[in-house]
């Protein structure tokens, strides 16, 4: 059934369709409606899950770590400061190889306090070993939750969904809502033989000496590498069931494009409207949305970008002392294989609006010669 719902509720509906058994919740703007609706769904019996209220985000993630270790499908959601408070447990979930799904609504990090969007909260968790998937529409958000559980349980790594605050979390649009009965053939109920069980006691999380720890880390990396194909396969299978697929990346009008704008999140969507305008003017330009950030789709990105003459990367984030984070990743994907100029742009920090005018300015600058390749090109900053 199609309904007009907000992005946060698209997350909730995705969880409802996924036969989740434990949900933990600690509220934070702009995430709160995700768990609000889930608590109503649990109370109304629409979801047969234990809903656990906790006293901090650290506990929220710890609660689902416990649940997942006990072998049940588990979910939580957060934003910004909340995600950062989870940091230690983000690592724990990976090391314990727990297939938890978490939705992070991108919110700029304080101080000063901000409730508006940018990607520094999730991208600063880049190296913890969670898969990260950036969504741009409510439909994609709901569908990706369902996909995420299947991916996580296949590779035994946790998955983080990432949504822009307000531009997605609070945006109402049409979603074809998935029902649990529909989803079950695609995503059967979760079970695992490796779990905490009071009837059959084992020790988990014990000390690993230098003789063993190294190999466990190697296996996490192997699982990450394997997850690239798993994401593709799960997405393809989802497409067979529901007629919608999203890919690791989404190229748009890139085939003969001389310039390609690399985007993520809601900016990817607005950029396509700008690409169409510029194509109408006869400009050979395209865009590439990076949907899956971890594992980074090196080959897929290289394949699309290698045909271009110039690449511009739009970052709604910054690694202080370096550059935009997507910019670094794209550069490393192309390193040593091509000499196409890659130009980095930073915009939209702290919820600053990224309008078609802003994107057009970036495109024009990228096509001209005025943008130095090694420096950061700040768009819209007041100096």
Partner 1 sequence: MIEIRTHGRGGQGAVIASEILADAFFREGKFVQAFPAFGVERRGAPVVSFTRVSDGEIRERCEIYEPDHLIVLDPVLIETVNITAGLKDGGWIVINTNRSLEGSELVKRFNIATVDANAIAVKYGLGSRATPIVNTAILGAFAGATKLVGLQAVIDAIEEFVPLKKENNRKATEEAFSSVRIVGDGPREA
Which positions touch partner 1 (CB under 8 A)?
A: 2, 4, 6, 30, 115-116, 136, 164, 166-168, 170-174, 266-267, 269-270, 272-273, 353-356
Nearer to partner 1, 91 or 360 (CB): 360
Closest by alpha carbon to 283, among 295, 293, 292, 274?
Answer: 274
Nearer to partner 1, 192 or 355 (CB): 355
Nearer to partner 1, 110 or 356 (CB): 356
Least distance from C-beta 3 to partner 1, angstroms?
A: 8
Least distance from C-beta 355 to partner 1, angstroms?
A: 5
Nearer to partner 1, 163 or 342 (CB): 163
Query: CB–CB of 105/31 below 8 Å?
Result: yes
Closest by alpha carbon to 86, among 54, 134, 52?
Answer: 54
| Residues 138-151 as b or e (16 or more Cβ within 10 Å = b) | bbbbbbbbbbbbbb
Cis omega (within 30 of 0) on the bond before 295? yes
Nearer to partner 1, 23 or 108 (CB): 108
Least distance from C-beta 178 to partner 1, angstroms?
A: 18
Rounded distance, CA 240 to CA 358, Å?
37
Least distance from C-beta 352 to partner 1, angstroms?
A: 10
Query: Alpha-carbon Rg of the chain, whole angstroms?
Result: 21
Least distance from C-beta 266 to partner 1, angstroms?
A: 4
Least distance from C-beta 115 to partner 1, angstroms?
A: 7
Nearer to partner 1, 172 or 213 (CB): 172
């Amino acid at each position: 059934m199609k309904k007009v719902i907000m992005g946060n509720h698209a997350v909730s509906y995705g969880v409802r369709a996924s036969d989740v058994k434990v949900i933990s919740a600690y509220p934070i703007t702009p995430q709160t409606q995700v768990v609000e609706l889930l608590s109503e769904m649990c109370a109304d019996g629409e979801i047969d899950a234990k809903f656990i209220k906790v006293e901090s985000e650290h506990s929220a993630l710890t609660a689902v770590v416990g649940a997942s270790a006990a072998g049940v499908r588990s979910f939580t959601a957060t934003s910004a400061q909340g995600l950062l408070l989870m940091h230690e447990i983000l690592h724990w979930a990976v090391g314990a190889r727990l297939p938890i799904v978490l939705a992070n609504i991108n919110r700029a990090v304080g101080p000063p306090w901000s409730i508006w969007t940018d990607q520094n909260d999730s991208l600063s968790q880049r190296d913890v070993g969670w898969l990260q998937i950036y969504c741009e529409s409510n439909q994609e958000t709901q569908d990706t939750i369902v996909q995420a559980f299947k991916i996580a349980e296949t590779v035994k790594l946790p998955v983080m969904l990432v949504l822009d605050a307000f531009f997605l979390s609070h945006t109402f649009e049409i979603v074809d809502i998935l029902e649990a009965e529909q989803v079950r053939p695609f995503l059967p109920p979760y079970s695992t033989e490796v779990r905490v069980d009071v009837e059959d006691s084992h020790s988990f999380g014990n000390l690993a000496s230098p003789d063993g720890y190294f190999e466990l880390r190697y296996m996490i990396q192997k699982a990450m590498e394997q997850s690239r194909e798993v994401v593709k396969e799960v997405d393809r299978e989802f497409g067979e069931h529901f007629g919608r697929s999203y890919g690791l990346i989404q190229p748009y009008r890139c085939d003969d494009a001389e310039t390609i704008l690399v985007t993520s999140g809601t900016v990817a969507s607005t950029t396509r409207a700008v690409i169409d305008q510029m194509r109408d003017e006869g400009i050979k330009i395209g865009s590439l949305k990076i949907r899956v950030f971890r594992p980074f789709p090196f080959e897929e990105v290289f394949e699309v970008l290698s045909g271009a003459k110039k690449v511009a990367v739009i970052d709604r984030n910054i690694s202080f002392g370096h550059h935009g984070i997507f910019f670094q990743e794209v550069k490393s994907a192309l390193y040593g294989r091509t000499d196409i100029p890659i130009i980095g742009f930073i915009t939209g920090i702290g919820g600053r609006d990224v309008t078609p005018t802003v994107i057009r300015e970036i495109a024009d600058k990228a096509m001209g010669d005025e943008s130095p390749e090694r420096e950061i090109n700040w768009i819209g900053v007041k100096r």
